[in-house]
């Protein structure tokens, strides 16, 4: 899965809320996780101290069962053996990568071959398990994008080879999330953030029918 938006929308917090639901068999918006699973975030976008402050500000537990591995920028564009060694004892079932530009610093993902290498390395680290990669929208993307393949930064290959894509639109107020499974847009949800920064989803109200 690829989750992307303009900078500073709150992608990392949104993904963390999802990982905590997976790790605790909790509720994630309209969905309930039926059994807990080991969830791991590989973080190279925010230093540990700042990340802990952001979690505390939102009210999310800083000692949650979600494991966070803080990596140096460009860590996944180098030898993957040290990263795989850190992951091995955790035995993750779901991984989140935050974010592609930071973890793969030094690779020009605007070119097809480096973009393919990013995907190969993500899959190697995930080792057959489900994963989500956080990414950024293309600079200058309009508010309404007809083809989601043109909305993400870098080569189209990142979008075209993702099994599932989530695009977060907007900058302030309600945020619209559009999901895509391959080439089919399947769902749109509108979310709002609390004063602390958590994401909230209110299901749409069914229209009232006149008698």
pLDDT per position as a tens digit, 103-120:
999 899 989 999 999 999
What six digits make up the tokens of 74? Answer: 């460009």
Q: Which pLDDT score is estimated for 202?
A: 66
pLDDT-flagged residues of the chain (< 70): 140-149, 170-189, 202-211
What six digits make up the tokens of 169? Answer: 């639109």
Q: Which pLDDT score is estimated for 58?
A: 87
Q: Which pLDDT score is estimated for 196?
A: 81
Q: Which pLDDT score is estimated for 181?
A: 46
Q: Which residue has the tokens 């909305």?
A: 151
- Residue 114, judged by CB atoms within 10 A of its CB (0-12, 13-18, 19+), counts as middle
Q: Which pLDDT score is estimated for 61?
A: 77
Report if pTM > 0.75. yes
What whole-number distance in Å separates Cα of residue 155 and Cα of residue 104? 14
Answer for the pair 18, 47: CB distance below 8 angstroms, yes or no.
no
Q: Which pLDDT score is estimated for 122?
A: 96
């Amino acid at each position: 899965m690829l989750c992307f938006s303009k900078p500073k929308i709150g992608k990392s917090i949104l993904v963390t809320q999802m990982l905590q639901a997976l790790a605790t068999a909790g509720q994630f918006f309209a969905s309930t996780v039926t059994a807990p699973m080991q969830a791991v975030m590989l973080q190279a976008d925010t230093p540990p101290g700042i990340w802990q402050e952001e979690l505390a500000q939102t009210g999310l537990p800083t000692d949650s069962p979600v494991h966070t591995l803080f990596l140096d920028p460009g860590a996944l564009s180098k030898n993957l053996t040290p990263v795989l060694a850190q992951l091995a004892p955790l035995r993750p079932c779901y991984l989140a990568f935050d974010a592609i530009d930071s973890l793969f610093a030094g690779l020009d993902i605007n070119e097809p071959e480096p973009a393919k290498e990013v995907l190969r390395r993500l899959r190697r680290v995930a080792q057959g398990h489900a994963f989500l990669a956080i990414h950024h929208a293309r600079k200058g993307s309009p508010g309404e994008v007809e083809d989601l393949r043109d909305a993400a930064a870098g080569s189209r290959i990142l979008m075209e080879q993702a099994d599932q894509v989530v695009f977060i639109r907007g900058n302030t107020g309600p945020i619209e999330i559009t999901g895509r499974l391959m080439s089919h847009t399947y769902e749109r949800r509108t979310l709002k953030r609390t004063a602390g920064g958590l994401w909230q989803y209110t299901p749409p109200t069914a229209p009232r029918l006149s008698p």
